[in-house]
Amino acid sequence: MFGPLNHLRIVEGSAFVAAPLAGLTLAQAGADVIRFDPPGGGLDYRRWPRAESGRSLFWTGLNKGKRSLCVDIRRPEGRELVQALIGAPGEGGGLLLTNFAGMPWLSDEILRARRADVIKLEITGNFDGSNAVDYTVNPAVGLPAMTGTGGRDAPTNHVLPAWDIACGLTAAFGMVSAAMERARTGQGRSISLALSDVAFATVGHLGMLAEAALGGTDRRPSGNDLYGAFGRDFPTADGERVMIVALTPKQWSGLVKVCGIADAVRGLEERLATDLKEEGARYVHREAIAALVAPWVGARPLAEVAAAFDAAGVSWGPYQTVTAALARDPRASTANPLFAMLEQPGVGSVLAAGSPLAAAGEPREPARAAPALGADNDAILGDVLGLPSGAIGKLYDAGIVAREES
């Protein structure tokens, strides 16, 4: 396996989004990520969306390129195998990524008794260890009250689990950072990462906490408008819809030029006693600007709008469904080196993304299929733990390890 992390072996015990995404990110950078699951699969093994076969597209998508150990962790013998795997020797071993918070059998003390330099990264809901998921954290940080148009009385949730994604990527960074530190010092680490900490930290970094604290009021929702500059969605003549963003001076001047509204903008500036080259002014007077842009966009089909905007350097994008993106957008196709067709057992041939990171002068590693449960049992138990075939056979006979029925 090629990749900058191909010297690392990471054991993953996970469910939901953040921890599996962290493992996927590490696997796509070359790490040997071994996830353990109980016979029959874990909490999200059959989560929607699913293929016609019933196979979870959610699970297979988040677990591409990992290896699978299917082991009954309800039994002491199964837990012993996972503990041994985490503590197995090797320069890049001794790494545990999990969101199974607070499990006594995965405690720091037990793991360090097996390997003193273990690195454990545990994802929790809140900093105090209490439960939280993306769909409870997002309302708590205040974003649904400023999304859409309803405000506090009709908050709008977002379909994207943004905090899970941010948390997963942060976890991957944290694991790599700890591994680098261990290579330098020989010391392991026990790291806790709270989903809600990622969310509150991020809204703080974006100035939202300070805005509320200093101003004493909450930001009002403004639909699809871009806060603090000019950005809005507009319908085209052929029933399509585009998002236009004029955040920078170049983007603004390009939009004014292509829409032929320079004289109207100057008149607007004189009437309002403002300078629309300043992005904040464009937000304040967004309704007046939209009234100038809308007729130009509404009189033209999408293809003509796209050609004119691209030629003028306008920042824009089409609104499209996922099926439309697959049908017409080269960014979501094999024309983009990110993607390749992948034969996923139980699903069929699917468009699958590899790592978004592209190294200059090097071909991208294609995505690898998610494993069937227990597909790698023999290799893991034999090669990593050094168990002889007879001992492995006894584990199957006792039901401590299992393979997925095909």
What are 217-239's pLDDT values in tens digits? 999 999 999 999 999 999 999 99
- Residue 198: exposure state from Cβ atoms within 10 A (0-12, 13-18, ≥19): buried
pTM above 0.75, yes or no: yes
Q: Which of 164, 275, 376, 378 is catalytic?
A: 164
Please tell me the predicted confidence (pLDDT) of residue 406.
56
Write the pLDDT tens digit of every residue in 249-288.
999 999 999 999 999 999 999 999 999 999 999 999 999 9
Percent pLDDT > 70 in the chain is 99
For residues 358 and 368, the answer to whether their CB atoms sit within 8 Å is no
CA distance 34 to 27: 9
Query: Average pLDDT, stretch 150-159?
Result: 94
Contacting residues for 253 by C-beta, under 8 A, at least 6 apart: none
Percent pLDDT > 90 in the chain is 98
Catalytic site residue 197? no
Copy the structure tokens of residue 99. Answer: 């969101």
Across all residues in the chain, what is the average pLDDT? 97
Query: Is pLDDT of 289 > 70?
Result: yes
DSSP string, 251-298: HHHHHHHHHT-HHHHHHHHHHHT--TTSHHHHHHTHHHHHHHHHHHHH
Please tell me the predicted confidence (pLDDT) of residue 332.
98
CA distance 190 to 193: 10
> What distances in angstroms separate CA 17 from CA 21, 68, 99, 124, 169, one per listed residue?
6, 17, 10, 12, 11
Write the pLDDT tens digit of every residue in 293-316.
999 999 999 999 999 999 999 999
Please tell me the predicted confidence (pLDDT) of residue 1.
46
SS3 71: strand
Q: Give strand pairing partners of 341.
A: 351
Write the pLDDT tens digit of every residue in 62-118.
999 999 999 999 999 999 999 999 999 999 999 999 999 999 999 999 999 999 999
Copy the structure tokens of residue 187. Answer: 């010391």
Residue type, 153: D
Minimal CA–CA distance to 259: which of 324, 268, 227?
268
